[in-house]
Amino acid sequence: MQKRLLPFLAAVLVLLLIGGGLAAQDEKVLVIGHAEQTDSYDPAHGYTPTTGMVHRATYDTLVTFPDGDASEILPSLATDWTVSEDGTVYTFTLGDEAVFTNGDPVTAEDVVFSVNRLQNVQSNPGFLAGEDRIVSVEAIDEKTVAFTLPDVRPSFLTELTNTAFSITNADVVQANGGTDADDAASTDTARDYLDQTSEGTGPYILESWAPQDETVLVRNQDYWGEAPYFDRVIIVNIPEAATQKAALESGQIDIALDLTPDQIAEMEGNADLGIFSGPGQWTHFLLMNADPEIGGPVSDPTVQLAIRYALDYEGYRELWAGSVTPGTNMAYILAGAFQQDQAFTRDLDMARQLLADAGYPDGFDITLEYPDYTAFGVNMNTNAQKIQADLAEAGINVTLSPGELQVALEAYRTGQEGFGYWFWGPDILDPVDVLSFVPGGKVAAERANWTAEMVDPAVIELIEQAKVATDAEERLDLFNQVQEFLQQNGAFAPFNVPATQRAYRADIEGYVWHPSWELDVALLSRAE
């Protein structure tokens, strides 16, 4: 018995050693560790940071941003464009170089199909192409396409950079059940197909997706732009930040996208690793429902202002390394957003005085609802405890009520939450994004019941002007006025923007974070 056991054990040992050395392959492979969050890779359905990264690699849009920021609009599939005198019709000319993965050239019909399908499938990103935003999209000739908007909207080109506007091969998608008809929400069946492959013009092709396990991209051999360095990109689902860290440190993955600020701090000084750090896009804020029956004391504008004065902004910055205090709910990274030096600072005496003015000299009791969730490395429970402590100093007695994310979202989205803590990232990388938070705006009206009728008509007039201003300087001035109004008034108290921090192996070159699509894998290479 023992004689037979020994050779067996030896064989197992040899196999283990061979197994350990498997990584040596000729292919250039990039492995990304990421907490996957999507239920589709169909551009008309998926709308998360995960899909942004994959769509950026596999599709192109008509226009795009520079590699690392949202400072200007650059040509992509469209080589140039014109805007009609009245500012409502945008006409794009398509370039001749781009071809789909099967060799078909990109035509105006593909653009029409992709945009109409996005609109009519009515899934997560559908609102970007909703009828209130795009009246029609028409092919003028094979290489010319015109969009008609309901009214002047200077942010339109910025919206088109979103990967939801990825241009797909109309013929192939239709052959696989796709439709852009009005009833596409119930008749389109191309989602399963586009979950497993991509029909775009990007530097990579989606090879396979095992949901909650891994996504594999392979290089598009016929890509019309500069060929990317890596032959294959594997995005592995690693939900635990601690596991991502271990896998990165041991070299099993090249990039970790979901590390916490604490973990990043521990990695500083490690010569094997590189760190990307920059201002983030997620604003953490308090919601104070303007409906007195739902919000109770926090529906009072004076109390709302008192709460903005009571928060210890500096404390949150110390809590989360690299974070900043936002000026308003306008995302920190957007042109024209109030920066930290223009942000609110704490004034407890003022907070107490305002509470007394509002009829609460002894404060009041209130429940803070929020999801029991870690948002991109920031544990919301930690912040909630600090909010509780901050407000206690002003005399407000807060009871914390964390809820499971889906359960909490329901109360938030239906406007039933009185006093809540949430976070927000811009859908459109343009100052118009803040209009969700002005009286009557999407978040303000639907979730905080703060409607246009509740404020001075002059404010609504100001907001309307800001929406349509095309002159850059005038636009900036108007948005500044909107932000000044939001600091003094309203249902929201933005208090912290955590930093964006990513870690990668030191031999990875060209790492750039992008606020819209997270990471462009085609820009990366490995030092040799």
Partner 1 sequence: MSLQIYIIRRFLFVIPLLLGITVVSFLIANAVPADPINANLPQNALNDENLVRAFREKWGLDKPLIEQYFTYLGNLLRGDLGVSIKTRQPIVEDIQQFLPATIELATVSIVLGLAMGIGVGVISAVWKNSIADYVARIFVVIGVSFPVFVLALIGLTVLHVQLGLVAGPGRLDFIVRDPPHVTGLFTVDSALAGQWDKFGNAVSHLVLPSLILGSYVAGIIARITRSSLLEVLGMDYIRTARSKGVRERWVIVRHALSNAMIPVVTVIGISYGNLLVGSVLIESIFAWPGIGRYAFRASTSQDFPAIMGVSFLIAFIYVVVNFIVDILYYFLDPRIRVA
Residues that bind partner 1 (CB under 8 A): 12, 14-20, 22-23, 25, 29, 31, 39, 122-124, 126-127, 130, 185-186, 191-192, 210-214, 234, 236-240, 242-243, 246-247, 249-250, 252-253, 404-407, 409-410, 413-414
Beta carbon nearer to partner 1, 72 or 410 = 410
Query: What is the C-alpha R_g of the chain?
Result: 25
* Cα distance between residue 38 and residue 138, in whole Å: 31
* Cα distance between residue 484 and residue 492, in whole Å: 13
Beta carbon nearer to partner 1, 335 or 405 = 405
The answer to whether 28 touches 230, Cβ cutoff 8 Å, is yes
CB of 453 vs partner 1, minimal distance in Å: 20
| DSSP category for residue 421 | E
Helix (H), strand (E) at residue 386: helix 380-393
CB of 420 vs partner 1, minimal distance in Å: 16
Q: How many degrees, rounded to 5, is the angle at CA 357 between CA 352 and CA 358?
A: 95
CB of 7 vs partner 1, minimal distance in Å: 15
CB of 391 vs partner 1, minimal distance in Å: 27
CB of 286 vs partner 1, minimal distance in Å: 21
Q: For residue 454, what are the contacts with CB-CB under 8 A and spacing of at least 6?
A: 290, 439
Beta carbon nearer to partner 1, 14 or 135 = 14
Beta carbon nearer to partner 1, 7 or 19 = 19
DSSP for 464-522, written as a single string: HHHHH--SHHHHHHHHHHHHHHHHHSSSEEEEEBPPEEEEEETTEE---EETTTEE-GG
CB of 260 vs partner 1, minimal distance in Å: 14
Packing angle of the helix pair 457-468, 472-488 (nearest 10 deg): 150
What is the CB neighbour count within 10 angstroms for residue 334?
A: 20
* Cα distance between residue 102 and residue 207, in whole Å: 14
Beta carbon nearer to partner 1, 12 or 392 = 12
CB of 292 vs partner 1, minimal distance in Å: 25
CB of 191 vs partner 1, minimal distance in Å: 8
DSSP for 68-120, written as a single string: S-SSS-EESSEEEEEE-TTS-EEEEEE-SS-B-TTSPBP-HHHHHHHHHHHHH
* Cα distance between residue 40 and residue 478, in whole Å: 39
* Cα distance between residue 302 and residue 300, in whole Å: 5
CB of 240 vs partner 1, minimal distance in Å: 5
CB of 3 vs partner 1, minimal distance in Å: 21
Q: For residue 43, what are the contacts with CB-CB under 8 A and spacing of at least 6?
A: 51, 55, 59, 114, 118, 125, 163, 164, 165, 166, 168, 194
Beta carbon nearer to partner 1, 60 or 254 = 254
Beta carbon nearer to partner 1, 232 or 346 = 232
The candidate with the shortest Cα–Cα distance to 444, out of 479, 489, 481, is: 489
* Cα distance between residue 212 and residue 524, in whole Å: 24
